């Protein structure tokens, strides 16, 4: 190619060949190509072809027609599913006709087809129950019921009409019209639904697990709507009590529809992460792989596989999802009881289609107010079902084996329903089984024994249909030989169904605009986008059903229960698979026992009694600490054993007592140095900015490395260090969070692994420093220590530790405990600074500045008083928990052994007896009044040490000239808390949109 002669273009050509689809535009390949073409004669064929190639490339850069549009009309799902395809808004809309995928070319004359009742009796009627060969539970098919009823609702007057949309939009919860939605919405400005309501009346006649799952999605919607309101990412939501009716409806519209987008996305993640992966056997392999139908798929001609163009479900796939043979023994009995309630003593073979349609309709329409609907014998309490009742239904369904897909597997009680299915398929004029198989690219059956090798089934079908080409789709799918339970196939359905449902799953999801081109953090919010997305590191390898259950039935399932994370398999089945994989010990398989009740204690006197009593009450940190450090002793932060206090005293005597005012000076000087290192200058050169979270993270990284743990930090002076300062913070945060923070169940598994990994890494480094400081270890280790640059201060501390005579391993682990506790400095310092930058505290801000900047006015004691007041009025944690060791009475309340006590320390710190005029800032209050400062940092190092070092770091910040928040959002600590929960604390969104108790960024500005 002549262009290659242009030396300047060669780097761009090489890059284009090596990185197709990710071209480095700084190498200016396009510009060189245009110049090259411009120098050719107009009629030069290379110029003509080159222009065509460039124009085609540029035109194809953009979608035609546009993939998405702006505005609420396009951002939110319509109640009836319309508008999913913006060019064909009726495609897939509720109330429109089913589509047809395969034409019936092979004649199937209605007057020659076998009687539907005879077909049921010969080929479908259950002879005996057979458990599902892969161990699928009844819970799997309860969820399948919701999926099926989301996309299929045949109009019985006109069977060609589908009354629901052709999208997995959770219509059994939300309904198929604005009228349906209005019946379940509060319309109060919060975007919430009425408690535990749903729209799908058909499910009321089905086993209760399906309705229970729908109730959880109702609760999930309300949880999401509440979080959207509290987080308020765009800052547009207001207290509904302050809004006019019109404003309230407008806010409700946005909150409801955004929550619906997120909740439907969550539902899809369950479909793909749990339901489909269970069917493929991936969960039993502990694999986090899942089909990702939304991904961009480039084609060979520089185009992309279509997505987000809508969908219309077909009659063939309606027939595909009649899975009645999977009904468990318990659900079969439940269904028999329902039929008996509706039809009395009538035998299944005597119930007609007309009678069933009429009486089933009457049974589901008896109560018009959906807030009063009940199911499965459950009763509402103040509008809600009891958590324990819902948990029991789910646990029963998880423990119950589903039935096997097979000919002669459908319970006799469902005879009329199967006959209705056959009749509908005939009225639709659907194709034969072999025609459907050809459509899917599968080999048509040449004989009935090839279709089902069971000679009795094959013979009966041959007598009824004469030739395999005459085999109807409905019966052919139901009675086909099932797949074996092998890797890649755990649904174990008929071979044709197994292939077809994968196509359907991809089309239903990839064709949905709201799951593809409009699946954006802007539409769902950053938090919502993350919340609805799969996390491959969670306990179920990317499943989502456990998150749904644990969030909406808190305390009813242990965090490591197979009932929680793998409810689509029976516990015995999943345990057997995990035993073979060597991971069975990570989970429990017994039926869950609800967590003990939690008693609230807010009175200061009683809070102090509980916290100071380490005999009758225990902290909850011990189990997590054991998971993190293993069998090692010395991690004393649980404070449940006498040796914990002994080791804490050892740290105090070897680190705190010998230091005098050294650490006050250290925190002041280090903070001052880091403030200068991390600031950046504005264009005017008159102001500078800095991220105070980054500043304090760096200060703490240096403190734990240089003064306590002997960690080797990378720097200009030590380029061979093990960690950067930025590496240290996430390790400390993981360990601290795992031990001290109540984390949502779906994050505990990942956090435990990360905390253990960080623990092992830091313990190894602390051990190396300890041995080097004390001349221990092998000769090679002592020699290598000479070249391993660490800070002398930590060595001196470790020598003092060693001289106590205690076991080295125990002391090394105790050092790690002090390192982990030190992380608390970061969020506490940030919150203190922000507290006094609040305009409402300007009087105290002014005094702090004066105290910090003038040598004459400097008053360490008063600054410490301000620190204590900030911690009292704006604590990092508003409460803490204890477990009750034995039956005991506190403040007139009886606490049973094994129960939990939630101590409202934030409320206790507003006690008027201890703190007169408690809501006012008074730095002169007695220091010994502050006895509730938390379980971590203060308990580890002692109140005086912590408060004096905090004050020194604060002093360095308030010395900066005119220190203030940066303009706009950068200078706002965007936390949120639930005002309806008195024990809730401020939470923040981190860079991954995960909720955390720790501030993530706060930009401050000061004058030069």
Active site residues: 149
CA–CA dist 950, 944 (Å, integer): 10
Tokens 């897939």 locate to 92
CA dihedral 29, 32, 36, 42 (to 10 degrees): 80
Distances (CA, A) of 311 to 103, 147, 506, 645, 667: 18, 15, 11, 65, 62
Collapsing DSSP states into helix, strand and coil, what is residue 722? coil
CA–CA dist 897, 885 (Å, integer): 5
Q: Identify whether the C-beta of residue 228 lies closer than 8 Å to the C-beta of residue 252.
A: no
Crossing angle (nearest 10°) for helices 692-702 and 662-677: 130
Among residues 932, 943, 930, 874, the alpha carbon closest in space to that of 903 is found at 932
Q: Which tokens in the block code for residue 911?
A: 């006690």
DSSP H or E run through 471? none
> What is the side-by-side strand order in the sheet with 964-965?
680-681, 687-691, 1003-1007, 964-965
Tokens 């009694």 locate to 609
Total Cβ atoms within 10 A of residue 623? 10
CA–CA dist 596, 244 (Å, integer): 43
CA–CA dist 515, 533 (Å, integer): 11
> What is the side-by-side strand order in the sheet with 598-601?
598-601, 900-903, 880-884, 617-618
DSSP H or E run through 880? strand 880-884
CA–CA dist 237, 896 (Å, integer): 43
CA–CA dist 906, 923 (Å, integer): 18
Total Cβ atoms within 10 A of residue 457? 21
Q: Per-residue b/e over 841-850, b at no fewer than 16 CB within 10 Å?
A: beebbebbbe
CA–CA dist 393, 513 (Å, integer): 35
CA dihedral 928, 931, 934, 937 (to 10 degrees): 30
DSSP state of 561: B
The β-bridge partners of 687 are: 1007
Is there a cis peptide before residue 65, judged by omega within 30 degrees of 0? yes
CA dihedral 618, 619, 624, 630 (to 10 degrees): -60
CA 580 centroid distance within chain:
28
430 Ramachandran zone, left/alpha/beta (phi>0; psi -120 to 50): beta
Q: Which tokens in the block code for residue 976?
A: 């949120």
Q: Identify whether the C-beta of residue 407 lies closer than 8 Å to the C-beta of residue 457.
A: yes
| DSSP collapsed to 3 states, 286-312 | CCCCCCCCCCCCECCCCCECCCCCCCC
Crossing angle (nearest 10°) for helices 29-38 and 10-18: 120
Q: Write the CB contacts of 284 (distance below 8 Å, at least 6 apart in sequence).
A: 134, 490, 569, 573, 574, 577
CA–CA dist 151, 153 (Å, integer): 7
Among residues 626, 629, 609, 625, the alpha carbon closest in space to that of 617 is found at 609
The β-bridge partners of 131 are: 403
DSSP state of 654: I
- Classify burial at 368, counting beta carbons within 10 Å of its beta carbon; exposed 0-12, middle 13-18, buried 19 or more: exposed
């Amino acid at each position: 190619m002549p262009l290659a002669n242009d030396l300047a273009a060669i780097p761009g050509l090489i890059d284009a060949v090596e990185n197709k689809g990710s071209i480095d535009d700084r190498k200016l390949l396009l510009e060189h190509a245009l110049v090259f073409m411009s120098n050719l004669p107009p009629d030069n064929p290379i110029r003509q072809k080159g222009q065509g190639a460039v124009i085609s490339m540029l035109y194809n850069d953009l979608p035609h027609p546009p993939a998405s549009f702006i505005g609420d009309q396009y951002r939110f799902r319509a109640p009836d599913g319309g508008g999913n395809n913006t060019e064909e808004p009726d495609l897939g809309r509720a109330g429109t006709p089913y589509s047809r995928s395969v034409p019936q070319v092979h004649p199937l004359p209605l007057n020659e087809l076998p009687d539907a009742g005879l077909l049921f009796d010969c080929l479908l009627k259950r002879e005996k129950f057979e458990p599902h060969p892969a161990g699928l539970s009844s819970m799997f098919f309860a969820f399948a019921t919701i999926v099926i009823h989301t996309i299929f609702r045949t109009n019985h007057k006109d069977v060609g009409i589908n009354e629901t949309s052709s999208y997995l939009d959770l219509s059994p919860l939300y309904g198929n019209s604005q009228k349906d939605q209005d019946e379940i919405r509060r319309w109060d400005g919060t975007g919430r639904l009425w408690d535990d309501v749903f729209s799908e009346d058909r499910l009321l006649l089905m086993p209760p697990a399906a309705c229970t799952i729908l109730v959880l999605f109702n609760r999930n919607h309300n949880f999401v709507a509440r979080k959207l309101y509290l987080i308020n990412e765009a800052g547009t939501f207001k207290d509904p009590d302050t809004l006019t009716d019109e404003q309230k409806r407008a806010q409700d519209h946005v909150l409801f529809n955004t929550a619906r987008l997120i909740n439907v996305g969550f539902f899809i993640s369950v479909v793909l992460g749990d339901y489909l992966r269970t069917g493929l056997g991936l969960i039993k392999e502990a694999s986090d792989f899942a089909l990702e139908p939304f991904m961009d798929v480039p084609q060979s001609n520089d185009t992309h596989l279509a997505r987000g163009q809508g969908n219309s479900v077909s009659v063939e796939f309606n027939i595909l999802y009649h899975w009645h043979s999977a009904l468990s023994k318990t659900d079969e009995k439940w269904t028999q009881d329902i039929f008996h309630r509706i039809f009395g003593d009538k035998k299944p073979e005597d119930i007609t289609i007309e009678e069933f349609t009429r009486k089933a309709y009457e049974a589901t329409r008896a109560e018009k107010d959906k807030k009063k609907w009940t199911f499965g014998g459950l009763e509402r309490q103040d509008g809600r079902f009891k958590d324990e009742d819902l948990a029991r239904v789910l646990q029963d369904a998880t423990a119950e084996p589903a039935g096997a897909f097979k000919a002669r597997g459908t319970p006799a009680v469902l005879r009329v329903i199967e006959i209705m299915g056959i009749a509908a398929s005939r009225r639709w004029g659907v194709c034969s089984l072999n025609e459907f198989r050809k459509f899917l690219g599968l080999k048509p059956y040449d004989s009935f024994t090839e279709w089902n090798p069971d000679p009795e089934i094959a013979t009966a079908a041959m007598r009824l249909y004469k030739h395999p080409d005459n085999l109807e789709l409905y019966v052919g799918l139901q009675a086909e030989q099932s797949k074996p339970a092998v890797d890649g196939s755990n649904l174990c359905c008929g071979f044709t169904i197994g292939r077809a449902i994968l196509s359907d799953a991809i089309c239903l999801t990839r064709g949905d605009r709201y799951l593809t081109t409009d699946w954006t953090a802007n539409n769902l919010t950053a938090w919502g986008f993350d919340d609805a997305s799969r996390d491959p590191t969670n306990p179920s390898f990317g499943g989502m059903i456990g998150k749904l259950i644990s969030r909406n039935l808190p305390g009813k399932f242990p965090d490591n229960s197979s009932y929680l994370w793998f409810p689509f398999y029976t516990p015995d089945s999943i345990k057997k698979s995990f035993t073979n994989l060597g991971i069975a010990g990570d989970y429990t398989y017994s039926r869950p026992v609800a967590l003990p009740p939690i008693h609230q204690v807010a009175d200061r006197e009683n809070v102090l009694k509980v916290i100071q009593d380490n005999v009758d009450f225990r902290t909850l940190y011990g189990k997590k600490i054991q998971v993190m450090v293993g069998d090692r002793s010395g991690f004393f932060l649980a404070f449940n054993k006498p040796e914990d206090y002994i080791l804490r005293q050892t740290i105090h005597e070897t680190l705190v007592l010998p230091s005098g005012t050294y650490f006050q000076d250290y925190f002041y000087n280090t903070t001052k140095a880091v403030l200068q290192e991390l600031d950046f200058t504005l264009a005017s050169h008159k102001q500078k900015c800095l991220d105070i979270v980054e500043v304090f993270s760096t200060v703490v990284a240096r403190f734990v490395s240089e003064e306590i743990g002997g960690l080797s930090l990378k720097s200009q002076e030590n380029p061979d260090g093990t960690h950067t300062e930025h590496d240290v913070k996430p390790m400390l945060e993981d360990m601290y969070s795992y031990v001290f923070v109540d984390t949502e169940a779906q994050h505990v598994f990942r956090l435990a692994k990360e905390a253990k990994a960080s623990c092992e890494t830091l313990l190894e480094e602390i051990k190396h420093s300890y041995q080097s400081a004390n001349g221990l270890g092998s000769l090679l280790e002592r020699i290598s220590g000479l070249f391993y640059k660490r800070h002398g201060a930590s060595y001196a501390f470790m020598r003092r530790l060693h001289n106590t005579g205690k076991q080295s391993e125990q002391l090394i682990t105790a050092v790690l405990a002090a390192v982990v506790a030190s992380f608390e400095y970061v969020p506490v310092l940030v919150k203190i600074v922000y507290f006094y930058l609040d305009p409402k505290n300007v009087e105290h801000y002014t005094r702090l500045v004066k105290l910090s900047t003038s040598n004459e006015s400097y008053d360490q004691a008063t600054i410490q008083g301000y620190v204590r007041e900030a911690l009292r009025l704006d604590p990092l944690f508003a409460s803490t928990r204890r477990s009750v060791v034995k039956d005991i009475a506190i403040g007139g309340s009886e606490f049973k052994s094994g129960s939990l006590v939630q101590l409202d320390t934030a409320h206790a710190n507003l006690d008027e007896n201890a703190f007169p005029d408690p809501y006012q800032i008074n730095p002169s209050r007695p220091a010994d009044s502050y006895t509730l400062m938390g379980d971590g940092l203060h308990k580890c190092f002692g109140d005086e040490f912590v408060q004096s070092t905090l004050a020194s770091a604060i002093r360095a910040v308030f010395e900066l000239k005119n220190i203030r928040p940066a303009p706009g959002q950068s200078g706002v600590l965007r936390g949120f808390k639930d005002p309806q929960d008195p024990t809730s604390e401020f939470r923040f969104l981190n860079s991954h949109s995960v909720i955390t108790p720790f501030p993530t960024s706060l930009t401050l500005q000061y004058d030069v």
